[in-house]
């Protein structure tokens, strides 16, 4: 096993949710060591959060710019940085590190605005470093298997795609003390999209990842059900895919009883698949005319791509953190390859293109909704 990759983090201080997830994901397979951070825009919180994580105080920076500069000149400086700030603070730090040759692992959606996304895309194009976007749900073993099954024709020609992502945590107006709810419903920080940006992009990305098709047109009916809410909290969307599939995407943050209900169903002329994120070790497959199968992780028929991101035998459930770690571990391999002057295998790693697709999806939803759910090409 090679030496661990030195990792920095922007954002992810105390009370953050996704920062902790990234840290576990980075640690789980032993590929990264977190050694530096600009963990908060509040200096005291940045310091305290760093101390709580056991970081060297000298490497707890007040801001990402300072961090990028300092780390890029240290001999033991970070080789990669995780960016886990609210969406409006993705592009600037990402560009700061990329231009110094430090690999970037960035949370999604890509940015808060399309302008930021395009600027970032330009920076990625010029950079000597990798840009990886944590569309973590693509890395569940059974999703990899589903993708394989579609690709090799188990479902035949794909006709229908039903994808949804439903939550209930924003059913009521957020308390002012809930930092997660605050920034995610603030268009300045989250971007113009609410539910469509936060979770709709995951659903969109997953459907495309598994089917291998892109959305060529969509018609979106967006709602903000909670009084005073400034972004959408529910979206009903018709989809037309470039490979001929038709479908719907529902995302909601106001659906009581739904915790993190990302669910994908795909139907072709030879079979159907169904998967739900809350029970990720299962994949339902029905070859048309035959009995439904409950495929399991590491079970009969597991594909190489599924086994490659699987750690435990069937029946020993892997979950969200393992899926997230799969992104980090693949990122580590890509980073090691790149740093060794080899061509990294990015075929299953979401990057700037997936990020741009997500931003185009958000933009199309908003444009469509503004014209009464007319068809818009992303």
Which residues ranging from 146 to 165 are in contact with a copy of itself (CB under 8 A)? 155, 159-160, 162, 164
Determine whether 115 is exposed, middle or buried from the number of CB atoms within 10 Å of its CB (0-12, 13-18, 19+). exposed
Distance CA 138, CA 264 (A): 12
Q: Which of residues 303-322 bind a copy of itself (CB under 8 A)?
A: 311-322
Under the criterion CB under 8 A, does residue 17 sit at the interface with a copy of itself?
A: yes
User: φ, ψ for residue 93 (rounded to 5)?
Assistant: -65, -40
The reply on whether position 57 binds a copy of itself by CB under 8 A is: no
Q: Are strands 271-276 and 234-241 parallel, antiparallel or unpaired?
A: unpaired
User: Among the candidate windows 118-126, 184-192, 244-252, 344-352, which touches a copy of itself by CB under 8 A?
Assistant: 244-252
* End-to-end alpha carbon distance in the chain: 43
Residues in 265-304 that interact with a copy of itself by CB under 8 A: 265, 267-272, 274, 277-281, 284-296, 299-301
Q: How far apart (Å, rounded) are the C-alpha atoms in residues 136 and 206?
A: 10
Can you list the positions of beta strands (E) in 157-245?
Answer: 158-166, 215-223, 234-241
Residue 171 within binding range of a copy of itself, rule CB under 8 A: yes
Treating both helix axes as pointing N-terminal to C-terminal, what angle do 18-28 and 320-339 enclose, rounded to 10 degrees?
60
Residues 321-360 that bind a copy of itself (CB under 8 A): 321-322
Question: Which one among 261, 351, 355, 378 touches a copy of itself, defined by CB under 8 A?
Answer: 261
Token pair for 217 = 């047109």
- Minimum Å gap between C-beta 255 and a copy of itself is 4
3-class SS at 27?
A: helix
**Residue 45 and residue 54: Cα distance in Å, rounded?**
14
> Which residue in the set 15, 28, 214, 367 belongs to the binding site for a copy of itself (CB under 8 A)?
28
Nearer to a copy of itself, 50 or 355 (CB): 50
The smaller minimum CB distance to a copy of itself, of residues 42 and 157, is found at: 157
In angstroms, what is the minimal distance from the CB of 219 to a copy of itself?
6
Nearer to a copy of itself, 1 or 73 (CB): 1
Smaller CB separation from a copy of itself, 370 or 374: 374
Q: Specify whether the CB–CB gap between 88 and 112 falls below 8 A.
A: yes
* Count of residues of this chain found to bind a copy of itself when the rule CB under 8 A is applied: 93
Residues 86-145 binding a copy of itself (CB under 8 A) are none
Give the range of 19-27, 72-80, 95-103, 355-363 binding a copy of itself by CB under 8 A. Answer: 19-27
Which residue, among 299, 346, 313, has the nearest Cα to 138 in the 3D structure?
346
């Amino acid at each position: 096993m090679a030496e661990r990759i030195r990792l920095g983090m922007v954002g992810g201080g105390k009370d953050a949710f996704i920062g902790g997830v990234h840290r576990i994901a980075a640690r789980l397979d032993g590929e990264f060591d977190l050694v530096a951070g600009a963990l908060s825009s509040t200096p005291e919180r940045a310091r305290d959060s760093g101390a709580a994580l056991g970081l060297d105080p000298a490497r707890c920076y007040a801001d990402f710019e300072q961090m990028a500069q300092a780390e890029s000149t240290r001999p033991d400086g970070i080789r990669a940085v995780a960016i886990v700030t609210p969406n409006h603070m993705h592009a600037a730090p990402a560009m700061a590190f990329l231009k110094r040759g430090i690999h970037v692992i960035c949370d999604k959606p890509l940015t808060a605005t399309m302008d930021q996304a395009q600027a970032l895309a330009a920076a990625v194009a010029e950079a000597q470093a990798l840009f990886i976007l944590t569309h973590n749900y693509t890395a569940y073993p059974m999703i990899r298997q589903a993708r394989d099954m579609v690709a090799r024709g188990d479902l035949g020609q794909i006709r229908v795609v039903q994808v949804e992502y439903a939550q209930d945590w924003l059913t009521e107006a957020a308390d002012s003390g809930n930092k997660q709810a605050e920034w995610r419903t603030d268009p300045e920080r989250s971007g113009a999209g609410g539910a469509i940006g936060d979770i709709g992009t995951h659903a969109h990305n997953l459907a495309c990842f598994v089917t291998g098709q892109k959305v060529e047109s969509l018609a979106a009916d967006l709602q903000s059900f909670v009084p005073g809410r400034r972004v959408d909290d529910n979206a009903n969307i018709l989809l037309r895919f470039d490979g001929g599939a038709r479908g719907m995407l529902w995302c909601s943050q106001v659906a009581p009883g739904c915790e993190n209900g990302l669910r994908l169903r795909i139907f072709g002329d030879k079979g159907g698949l169904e998967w739900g994120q809350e029970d990720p070790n299962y994949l339902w497959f029905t070859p048309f005319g035959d009995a439904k199968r409950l495929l399991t992780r590491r079970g009969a028929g597991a594909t190489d791509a599924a086994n490659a991101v699987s750690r435990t035998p069937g029946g020993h459930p892997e979950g969200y953190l393992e899926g997230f770690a799969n992104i980090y571990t693949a990122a580590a391999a890509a980073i090691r390859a790149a740093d060794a002057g080899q061509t990294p295998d990015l075929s299953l790693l979401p990057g700037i293109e997936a990020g741009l697709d997500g931003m185009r999806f958000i933009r199309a939803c908003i444009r469509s909704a503004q014209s009464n759910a007319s068809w818009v090409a992303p």
